[in-house]
């Protein structure tokens, strides 16, 4: 006991000091995950437990505080051997305890922010130059917490360390995927597979397959069957698909598994697998990471850390007014027929998941050429055409195809590359000060062009 006054008070009342305090808090996160109602959830907000934990942690000079069941074996060993904890060890345990109570309160705050939003009756002034904010999505203070689930072999590169953390209130989502075979997931595997998983659900309820590498699609397609969708997606860029990630939004069949078998693939992710398909993938491709995720993506908010801060935005979903083809404006050519509209809608949905600047060429609800990640739209257009027309069989896949651009054409030159390559229709956001020049280039060529009024940048 380091404080003489405290020691005398304990002696006065005949209270012996504690050497060890072990506390388990009420299972608030487990209660939320169980789907309990509000009353049952509130009942599991611990009051006394956190106070005991904080009190013991504050007195780490003489007290060891245990909040992690993983430390019970350590405590038992020390007791059996008649040993205590050193000051450094007690301080370390105190740090864990403070982290535990902080995470506990943050989890409660996350729940209350979702279920008890600011009522309309409370008015708060908006500073000049600022936009009114949705407090439920963008609270004044972010206190979300994640629990470390896996220490990964390394990060994006071998010299970087990495771990996977899980949201304690959410048992669904790609991070909770069940692994049915293959080597442990790497950092890059998670990044690419998550991108592929999100991409295919942009097309639900239609059956779709995506092939992704370095967080960019090598191919995307819709098919009557999952096997057909995979073959069409792979055909977009077979060379780049080598070592990629495959995602399907439908159960993987034996036919699809057979087509995947000869292709070197890092990860395959799907909501389910036919028994024979799973057996083939597990036995014939033992290094293939096989993931099963029962739920489509539900993330509504995205985070990106910058030096000294955090950027938060609502997730870019295919739900903006301009994503509805009925709202598109025809600015050139004849109205597209039903088949062309179908391909334009596919291309517009697919462009959402391509890194900007992005140009995508599609035919028969499949990508045939993707120009991604270029710093100008001309290079993206050239790349999309080049990739569409450099297959070994020499086929011209741009003639009669459609194209999509994730943002407006600042000049007519990008659109002219697509027009000269033979595309018959283009969909793009519009909004350039030179829109009329772009529209006129399409009109002269007799190419149908629609503007959406919605942009889908992806950085």
Q: Reduced to 3 states, what is the DSSP secondary structure of residue 41?
A: helix
Mind telling me the catalytic residues? 58, 214
Beta strands in 26-158 (DSSP E): 64-66, 147-151
- Give the torsion through C-alpha atoms of 197, 199, 205, 207, to 10 deg: -80
Q: With contact defined as beta carbons under 8 Å apart, do 383 and 405 qualify? A: no
Phi, psi of 402 (to 5 degrees): -120, 165
Cα 194 from Cα 51, distance rounded (Å): 40
Alpha-carbon gap, residue 211 to 369, rounded angstroms: 13
Q: List phi, psi (to 5°) of 377.
A: -75, -25
Query: Rounded to whole angstroms, what are the CA distances from 154 to 24, 25, 81, 193?
Result: 33, 33, 37, 17
Beta strand 448-451 with 402-405 is unpaired
What is the Cα–Cα distance from 202 to 350, expressed in whole angstroms?
8
Contacts of 120 (CB under 8 A, 6+ apart): none
| The two three-digit tokens of residue 110, written as one number | 């996350």
Cβ neighbourhood burial of 391 (10 Å; 0-12, 13-18, 19+): middle
Written as six digits, the tokens of 69 are 């069941």
Nearest to 281 by CA among 258, 255, 309: 258
- Measured CA to CA, the distance from residue 28 to residue 35 in angstroms comes to 11
> What is the rounded distance in angstroms from the CA atom of residue 384 to the CA atom of residue 361?
7
Q: Name the token pair of 434.
A: 């030179």
Write out the two tokens for 59. Answer: 């007195």
At CA 211, angle to CA 205 and CA 215, rounded to 5?
105
- Which residues lie across from 306 on neighbouring strands? 309
Q: What is the SS3 assignment for 311?
A: strand
Structure tokens belonging to residue 211: 């092939």
Picking from 365, 343, 324, the residue whose alpha carbon sits closest to that of residue 220 is: 365
Phi, psi of 121 (to 5 degrees): -70, -15
């Amino acid at each position: 006991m380091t404080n003489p006054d405290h020691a005398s008070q304990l002696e006065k009342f005949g209270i012996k000091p504690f050497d060890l305090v072990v506390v388990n808090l009420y299972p608030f996160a487990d209660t939320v995950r169980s789907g309990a109602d509000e009353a049952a959830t509130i009942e599991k907000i611990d009051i006394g437990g956190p106070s005991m934990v904080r009190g013991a942690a504050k007195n780490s000079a003489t007290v060891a505080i245990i909040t992690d069941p993983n430390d019970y074996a350590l405590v038992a060993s020390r007791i059996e051997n008649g040993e205590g904890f050193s000051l450094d060890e007690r301080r370390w345990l105190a740090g864990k305890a403070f982290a535990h109570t902080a995470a506990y309160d943050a989890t409660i705050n996350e729940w209350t922010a979702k279920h008890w939003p600011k009522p309309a009756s409370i008015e708060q002034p908006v500073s000049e130059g600022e936009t009114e904010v949705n407090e439920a999505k963008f609270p004044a203070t972010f206190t979300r917490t994640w629990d470390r689930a896996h220490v990964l072999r390394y990060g994006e590169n071998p010299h970087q360390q990495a771990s996977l953390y899980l949201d304690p209130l959410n048992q669904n989502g790609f991070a909770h995927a069940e692994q049915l075979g293959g080597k442990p997931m790497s950092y890059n595997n998670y990044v690419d597979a998550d991108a592929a998983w999100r991409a295919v659900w942009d097309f639900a309820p239609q059956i779709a397959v995506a092939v992704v590498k370095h967080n960019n699609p090598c191919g995307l397609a819709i098919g009557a069957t999952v096997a057909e969708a995979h073959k069409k997606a792979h055909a977009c860029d077979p060379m780049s698909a080598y070592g990629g990630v495959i995602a399907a939004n439908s159960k993987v069949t034996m036919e699809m598994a057979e087509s995947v078998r000869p292709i070197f693939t890092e990860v395959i992710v799907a909501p389910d697998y036919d028994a024979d398909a799973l057996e083939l993938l597990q036995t014939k491709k033992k290094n293939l990471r096989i993931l099963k995720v029962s739920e489509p993506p539900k993330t509504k908010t995205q985070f990106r850390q910058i030096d000294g801060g955090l950027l938060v935005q609502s997730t870019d979903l295919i739900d903006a007014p301009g994503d509805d083809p009925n709202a598109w404006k025809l600015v050139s050519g004849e109205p597209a027929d039903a088949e062309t509209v179908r391909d334009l809608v596919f291309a517009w949905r697919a462009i959402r998941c391509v890194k900007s600047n992005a140009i995508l060429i599609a035919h028969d609800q499949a990508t045939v050429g993707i120009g991604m990640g270029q710093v100008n739209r001309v290079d993206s257009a050239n790349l999309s055409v080049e990739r569409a027309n450099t297959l070994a069989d020499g086929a011209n896949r741009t003639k009669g195809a459609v194209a999509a651009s994730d943002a407006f054409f600042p000049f007519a030159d990008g659109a002219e590359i697509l027009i000269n390559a033979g595309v018959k229709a283009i969909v793009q956001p519009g909004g350039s000060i030179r829109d009329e020049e772009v529209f006129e280039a399409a009109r002269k060529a007799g190419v149908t062009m629609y503007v959406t009024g919605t942009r889908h940048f992806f950085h």
